[in-house]
Amino acid sequence: MAMMAKMATFERLESDVRTYSRQFPAVFHRARGSTLWDEDGRPYLDFFSGAGALNYGHNEPRLKRCLIEYLEGEGVLHSLDMATVAKRAFLERFERVVLRPRGLDYKLQFPGPTGTNAVEAALKLARKVTGRPDVVYFRNAYHGMTLGSLAVTSNPAKRAAAGVPLPHAIAMPFDGDLGAGVDTLAALEPVLAGAGGAARPAAVIVETVQAEGGVRVASWDWLRGLRELTRRHGVLLIVDDVQTGCGRTGTFFSFEPAGIEPDLVLLSKSIGGCGLPLALVLLRRDLDRWLPGEHNGTFRGQNLSFVAGAAALAYWEDDAFASTVRAKGERLRRRLDALVAAQPHACRSTRGRGLMQGLVLHPPALGAAVAAAAFERGLLIEAVGPADDVLKFLPPLVAEPREIDAAVGIVEESLAAVQDGAEPARELSCTVESSPRIDEASPF
């Protein structure tokens, strides 16, 4: 079936707002681990990982088994914010596996199923607690698409789509924005101090790695300085760990190596275990000043997500899994550094942490072109950054070393094909398990 015919239903019935079906024009049917198969049985290495929602890969067997058992036992699926056995198990395991070993004493709020729900709740709470309306965010930040989250998101096109002003948000330079050796915190301090009679902001919201902003990494010293400044001036520090958390950078929370303790931490994406919707706001106990029902929503009680999320925390019982993530991140970084050394005219640099790595390309148009050519060769990978000039490598944390090597090999071939003006190859450049062609008589 020709690709246009395969996508016809989506073109005819689904809104033009869709994005990823345009970037990855295939109809997917099966998935396991680091591999997706389309309806014709063609495999694709997935180094997109649901934009970070699939840290444990597709259909992780232990998580899937827990879900099946819960469903077969007629477990509660929808419960608003009522108490359930599944929620209790998640809360207790999160406390035991994540909070206590790190000396953290946060309370947990379930604001709704997505990352932007967590951002909205945190901004609202920060304003309620401090009585101040403004929030500082950083250039090239991405925090979500609802109006409050969008106000602290940098992308001009996404902001313009709001159709209304996005007030009470102050953009400041991120670490490195003003050039090497320039301390951007020096520009931030007068804002936090309320210099010139201006009101101090309620909070600062930050990503330790700006994933959608081009895999731009804040240094540990800069993060420590940010924490010290916010504390000194009575401004809350919110760390958005929606994409960088749950082990993506090599520790469960991305900020752990900096030795800081944010006032609020936001989690979503992979906290649901296997791509199921769940979001958390972790908040200092003294900040929990919500009145009952003051912030609510229908889909806070995601019990399947509690089940899968609790099961996924088994990966974090000790440091063994985190060590493998760091080792694979180093392997990926070495492969990308070698590519930069071999092709310095096109590959400018690498940056990232753990298994979130970026390859900076030049000219900027090369990013989207290489991503498209890589898809033709059986690799899902995204170009990010203000100019889409950074290939973001976001494999499942359970990816095999051979899959990491295969992905970099596909990018290398794609880069050569784009530069040579060659037609993209349609044969896979790596070996993955094949999937039988789907019975066309089946509606599924």
Residues 367-413 have pLDDT tens digits of: 999 999 999 999 999 999 999 999 999 999 999 999 999 999 999 99
What is each CA distance from 119 to 93, 113, 129, 147, 264, in whole angstroms? Answer: 24, 11, 15, 10, 10
- What is d(CA 243, CA 340) in angstroms, rounded to the nearest whole number? 26
Q: What is the pLDDT of residue 424?
A: 46
Query: What are the residues whose beta carbons fall under 8 Å from the beta carbon of 170, sequence distance 6 or more?
Result: 134, 135, 136, 137, 191, 201
Average pLDDT over residues 25-48: 97
- Full-model pTM: 0.94
Query: What are the residues whose beta carbons fall under 8 Å from the beta carbon of 80, sequence distance 6 or more?
Result: 296, 298, 300, 301
Token pair listed for 439? 């019975």
Q: What is the pLDDT of residue 231?
A: 98
33 DSSP assignment? B
Q: What is the pLDDT of residue 422?
A: 57
What is the overall mean pLDDT for the chain? 94
Q: What is the pLDDT of residue 411?
A: 98
Query: What are the residues whose beta carbons fall under 8 Å from the beta carbon of 334, sequence distance 6 or more?
Result: none
Q: 10 Å Cβ neighbour count for 377?
A: 21
Q: Where are the domains of the chain?
A: 3-59+321-420, 75-316
Q: What is the pLDDT of residue 180?
A: 87
The architecture (CATH level 2) of 75-316 comes to: 3-Layer(aba) Sandwich (3.40)
Band the pLDDT of 181: cuts 50, 70, 90.
confident
Average pLDDT over residues 34-54: 97
Q: What is the pLDDT of residue 14?
A: 95
The architecture (CATH level 2) of 3-59+321-420 comes to: Alpha-Beta Complex (3.90)
Dihedral (Cα; 128, 212, 360, 238), 10-degree rounding: 20
Whether the predicted pLDDT of 357 surpasses 60: yes
Give 83-102 pLDDT, tens digit per residue. Answer: 999 999 999 999 999 999 99
- What is d(CA 134, CA 127) in angstroms, rounded to the nearest whole number? 8
Average pLDDT over residues 112-131: 98
Closest CA to 358 of 386, 393, 402: 393
Query: What are the residues whose beta carbons fall under 8 Å from the beta carbon of 238, sequence distance 6 or more?
Result: 122, 123, 126, 203, 204, 205, 206, 262, 263, 264, 265, 266
Q: What is the pLDDT of residue 197?
A: 87
Whether the predicted pLDDT of 229 surpasses 50: yes
Q: What is the pLDDT of residue 110?
A: 98
Query: What are the residues whose beta carbons fall under 8 Å from the beta carbon of 293, sequence distance 6 or more?
Result: none
Q: Are 261 and 106 in contact (CB under 8 A)?
A: no
Whether the predicted pLDDT of 326 surpasses 50: yes
Helices (H), 104-263: 115-130, 147-151, 156-160, 185-193, 220-232
Q: What is the pLDDT of residue 1?
A: 53
Q: What is the pLDDT of residue 45?
A: 98
Could you tell me which residues are beta bridge partners of residue 209?
Answer: 217
Helix or strand holding residue 277 (H, E): none
Helix or strand holding residue 324 (H, E): helix 320-342
Give the start-end residues of each E strand in 39-97.
Answer: 43-46
Three-class SS state of 206: strand
Percent of the chain at pLDDT > 90 equals 91
Whether the predicted pLDDT of 441 surpasses 50: no
Give 260-308 pLDDT, tens digit per residue. Answer: 999 999 999 999 999 999 999 999 999 999 999 999 999 998 999 999 9
Percent of the chain at pLDDT > 70 equals 94
Whether the predicted pLDDT of 29 surpasses 80: yes
- What is d(CA 414, CA 410) in angstroms, rounded to the nearest whole number? 6
**Radius of gyration (C-alpha) of the chain in whole angstroms:** 22
